[in-house]
Amino acid sequence: MDTQSAQEVIQFPCESCGGPMLFDADSQRMKCQYCGRLQEIATDASIPREHELDDGKEDEDTDWGMSQQTVKCGSCGGESLIPARQTATLCPFCGSAKVLPQPDTANIKPESLIPFRIDRDDATAAFRAWKKKLWFLPSSFKRENTSARLAGIYIPYWTYDAGTSSSYSAERGDYHYRTVTKTRVVNGKTETYTEQQRYTVWHWVSGEYDRFFNDVLVPASGQYDAKLLERLGDFELNGLLGYKPEYLSGYIAERYSIGRGRGWEEAKARIDDALRGDIRSEIGGDEVRSLKIDTGYSDQTYKHLLLPAWNANYTYKSKPYRFMVNGQTGLVSGKAPRSAWKITFFVLACLAVVAALVLWYASSQQAPPLE
Ligand SMILES: [Zn+2]
Ligand SMILES: [Zn+2]
């Protein structure tokens, strides 16, 4: 979506001229698109509320502080939230025009978000710099200007807090050494020598282990595979601010497609991994085997977060590609087309070098002529 369509419905009118105000990544304030007036966003200093995971629907806060609609792409299935009455133009994920409004769906409101720090121009520059560093790009792709297809999207995440209490049992192995005397035959004479031999002493251990987990971050996006999100790099979560609808103006929020229940399952898997590591080192010893852990979880709470990214989809020779720019740090990740011709040329050049080296080596190692 470009700025034009965001302006169709004025959510935040300018106090001086009535023009639309959108969030400005440079100043971190609202900026009038007509007269350039800047306005602070009143920050919410209250600590984000954590919601009980088990409380069900009653605890869901679905008031985003603005009227909005859910739209869904008929091509890729991507769902996003845009201001009410605004007509959606193109799917921000795949560029398809088959975007349809959905019947009213309640969406859990985010508690906090990281506002965009990288604006469209920064994202374009970051993408160009990334392209420059890549090998084997087709020349036509290198020259192509992809900035027009960038969409600023807030990607949904869940974070979970939980207390854990585990009881475990395992066999701990400790290495010991003994000196053994051996014999060997040297030059026809038998002699004795000593050798250090390692052996492991195993004994059963058991115990209790408690740990509280804070802010386990799990993507709730259905549009990006985990790998792409991982490559997008770590967000600096100390930049989180309390949610305000102003931050969304001019951007799109992706609707979470992984519910908080499914997100918790993922969080639990990460927590269990961390617990395994903790308990292994608590047990100590040189080796641990038959480790059994029984964990109880308590006081699980969740928060809904939005993190900023620039997304672009493009097709090159009728194949789709996607790249993203971290909206906070400017880190770029994605897939780029490769020129088959350039790769072939490179491989042939490498083979030529190897062949030359082999010939040179062979000629320098030539056996002396027989007498
Ligand atoms: Zn104005
Ligand atoms: Zn789509």
Of the ligands numbered here, which is closest to the C-alpha atom of 100? 2
2, 135: one domain: no
Q: 251 CA distance to ligand 1 centroid (A)? A: 19
For the segment 39-94, what is each residue's pLDDT rounded down to a tens digit?
A: 999 877 666 677 887 756 656 778 888 778 888 888 888 888 887 777 767 888 88
Range of the domain at 13: 1-42+63-104
Is 123 inside a domain boundary?
A: yes
Of the ligands numbered here, which is closest to the C-alpha atom of 98? 2
Q: How far is CA 106 from CA 61, 68, 223, in A?
A: 9, 10, 20
Return the residue matching tokens 């059994």.
Answer: 292
Mark residue 95 as left, alpha or beta (left: phi above 0; alpha: psi -120 to 50; beta: remaining).
left
124, 228: one domain: yes
92, 140: one domain: no
Mean pLDDT of the region 100-112: 82
28, 141: one domain: no
152, 77: one domain: no
Phi, psi of 140 (to 5 degrees): -65, -35
For residue 196 the two structure tokens come to: 């250090």
Q: 287 CA distance to ligand 1 centroid (A)? A: 68
Of the ligands numbered here, which is closest to the C-alpha atom of 80? 2
Return the residue matching tokens 């009455």.
Answer: 85
Model confidence at 135, pLDDT cuts 50, 70, 90, reads confident
- Classify residue 243 by burial, with Cβ atoms within 10 Å: 0-12, 13-18, 19+: buried
Return the residue matching tokens 């038959």.
Answer: 290
Is 87 inside a domain boundary?
A: yes
Q: Judge whether 52 and 301 are in contact, CB under 8 Å.
A: yes
Q: Is the dihedral of CA 344, 346, 349, 355 positive or negative?
A: negative
Distance, CA of 130 to CA of 117 (rounded, Å): 18
Helices (H) and strands (E) in the chain, counts: 6, 15
226, 253: one domain: yes
Is 199 inside a domain boundary?
A: yes
134, 95: one domain: no
Is 80 inside a domain boundary?
A: yes
Q: How far is Cα of residue 136 from the mean position of the Cα atoms in its chain?
A: 26
Of the ligands numbered here, which is closest to the C-alpha atom of 95? 2
163, 187: one domain: yes
Q: Judge whether 311 and 93 are in contact, CB under 8 Å.
A: yes
Is 120 inside a domain boundary?
A: yes
Phi, psi of 370 (to 5 degrees): -70, 145
294, 192: one domain: yes
Is 288 inside a domain boundary?
A: yes
Q: 31 CA distance to ligand 1 centroid (A)? A: 8
For the segment 328-361, what is each residue's pLDDT rounded down to a tens digit?
A: 998 888 777 777 777 788 888 888 888 888 888 8
Q: What is the pLDDT of residue 311?
A: 86
Of the ligands numbered here, which is closest to the C-alpha atom of 77? 2
Closest CA to 327 of 250, 269, 265: 250
Q: 347 CA distance to ligand 2 centroid (A)? A: 37
156, 206: one domain: yes
Is 350 inside a domain boundary?
A: no
Distance, CA of 17 to CA of 184 (rounded, Å): 99
* Overall number of domains in the chain: 2
Is 22 inside a domain boundary?
A: yes
99, 121: one domain: no
Of the ligands numbered here, which is closest to the C-alpha atom of 17? 1
93, 189: one domain: no
